[in-house]
């Protein structure tokens, strides 16, 4: 090969390599997730006996996901996410039978300095506020606040109806303004002739040093999601946390109205404190359900300890106490491991 041709070839190689590097810099796709499993026993208040189990999602629901972005120029990006819950104990997808494949999130959208707009299946802002202001975060087995909000119990169906993600939805999230941000979500029923059956909600989040706070609401009008003949449900929640360095304190209050005269009031108090290289967790939730036939009271307390083994892996032990009105008390415990990737 002549010297001139060699120079041309080298120039082309550098140009192609430069374009490939630029393309890589402008777009990205990543694989990530979390795997959580525990062994223990569960005996809710009023249940006839204890269920010994090896199960998933002791402290966090297991999931995996793909997300990516592409730089479109002018401070504008295209973004997407596909995230699937799964059960590590039996290998099934979804956090329960019948849940869709990408039930955690499945959206595509645009991101700019004005905020982020996504379309598809989006996580509900009320759920985000629920898990950020209790020490057990998103545990559907041991977080008293999550149990009192999203799980059926001895007082009846779950307080907040509908899943933690909404199908056929549009979500707008604001930029961060000095620690303050917010989100609004609107979900259509997706059924011709039912324009009024739609859901909407939102939240405000503030993180300013030691203090954090939230306010959230949602209104659900899809009658297929509601119970006792209700055709609408409105939920309101407020939360606050303060880091005292030696311990972090949490508090939440939630009010839920159904237009069938069923009303729930829920409160949660919690503490997380460093002990050694790990953290001790304590939380208590109280719910009073008022209905035409009378009232029921539900109390749940949880105690846990989380010990990190590395930046991505931790082990934990938890204990749960559960009591509904006149029913017998219940309890549960679990010892598990959680790994992020």
283, 301 contact by CB (below 8 A): yes
Residues 318 and 255: their CA atoms lie apart, in Å, by: 28
Whether the pLDDT of residue 18 is over 70: the answer is no
12 vs 291: which has the higher pLDDT: 291
Residues 36 and 203: their CA atoms lie apart, in Å, by: 28
219, 199 contact by CB (below 8 A): yes
Helix (H) / strand (E) element for 215: namely: strand 211-220
What is the average pLDDT score of the chain?
A: 90
Residue 212 pLDDT level (bands cut at 50, 70, 90): very high
Structure tokens at 252: 């939440």
Q: What percent of the chain has pLDDT over 90?
A: 77
Domains of the chain, start order = 27-340 (2.40.160.10)
Residue 252 pLDDT level (bands cut at 50, 70, 90): very high
Nearest residue to 306 (alpha-carbon basis) of 267, 260, 272, 333: 272
What's residue 333's pLDDT? 97
125, 183 contact by CB (below 8 A): yes
List Cβ neighbours of 39 (8 Å cut-off, separation of 6 or more). 53, 54, 55, 334, 335, 336
What's residue 202's pLDDT? 98
Residues 228 and 115: their CA atoms lie apart, in Å, by: 39
Lowest mean pLDDT among 7-11, 36-40, 84-88: 7-11
Positive or negative torsion for Cα 257, 152, 317, 95: negative
Residues 37 and 336: their CA atoms lie apart, in Å, by: 6
Whether the pLDDT of residue 33 is over 50: the answer is yes
Residue 229 pLDDT level (bands cut at 50, 70, 90): confident
Q: What's the whole-number mean pLDDT along residues 111-140?
A: 97
What's residue 8's pLDDT? 41
What's residue 311's pLDDT? 96
12 vs 161: which has the higher pLDDT: 161
What's residue 81's pLDDT? 98
Burial label for 91, CB within 10 Å (0-12, 13-18, 19+), is: exposed
Angle at 302 between CA 298 and CA 306, to 5 degrees: 160
Over its C-alpha atoms, the chain yields an Rg (Å, rounded) of 23
Looking from the CA of 301 toward its CB, the CA atoms found within 13 Å total 6
Whether the pLDDT of residue 131 is over 80: the answer is yes
Q: What's the whole-number mean pLDDT along residues 169-192?
A: 90
What's residue 294's pLDDT? 87
């Amino acid at each position: 090969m002549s010297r001139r041709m060699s120079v041309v070839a080298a120039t082309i190689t550098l140009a192609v390599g430069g374009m490939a590097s630029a393309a890589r810099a402008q777009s990205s796709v990543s694989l990530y997730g979390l795997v959580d499993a525990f062994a223990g026993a569960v005996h809710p208040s009023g249940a006839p006996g204890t269920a010994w189990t090896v199960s998933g999602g002791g402290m966090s629901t297991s999931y995996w996901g793909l997300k990516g972005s592409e730089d479109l120029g002018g401070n504008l990006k295209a973004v997407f996410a596909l995230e699937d819950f799964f059960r590590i104990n039996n290998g099934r997808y979804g956090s329960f039978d019948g849940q869709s494949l990408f039930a955690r999130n499945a959206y595509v959208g645009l991101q700019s300095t004005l905020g982020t707009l996504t379309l598809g299946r989006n996580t509900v802002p009320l759920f985000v506020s629920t898990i950020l202001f209790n020490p057990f975060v998103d545990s559907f087995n041991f977080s008293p606040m999550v149990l009192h909000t999203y799980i059926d119990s001895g007082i009846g169906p779950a307080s907040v109806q509908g899943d933690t993600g909404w199908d056929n939805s549009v979500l707008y999230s604001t930029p961060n303004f000095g620690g303050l941000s917010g989100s609004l979500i609107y979900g259509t029923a997706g059924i011709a002739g039912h324009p009024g059956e739609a859901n909407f909600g939102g939240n405000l989040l503030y993180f300013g040093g030691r203090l954090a706070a939230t306010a959230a609401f949602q209104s659900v009008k899809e009658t297929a999601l509601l119970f006792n003949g209700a055709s609408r449900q409105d939920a309101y929640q407020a939360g606050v946390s303060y880091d005292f360095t030696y311990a972090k304190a949490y508090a939440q209050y939630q009010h839920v109205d159904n237009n069938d005269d069923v009303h729930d009031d829920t409160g949660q108090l919690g503490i997380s404190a460093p002990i050694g290289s790990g953290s001790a967790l304590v939380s208590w939730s109280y719910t009073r359900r008022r209905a035409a036939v009378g009232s029921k009271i539900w109390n749940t307390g949880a105690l846990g300890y989380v010990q990190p083994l590395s930046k991505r892996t931790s082990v934990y032990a938890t204990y749960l106490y559960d009591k509904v009105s006149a029913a017998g008390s219940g309890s549960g415990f679990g010892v598990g491991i959680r790994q992020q990737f």
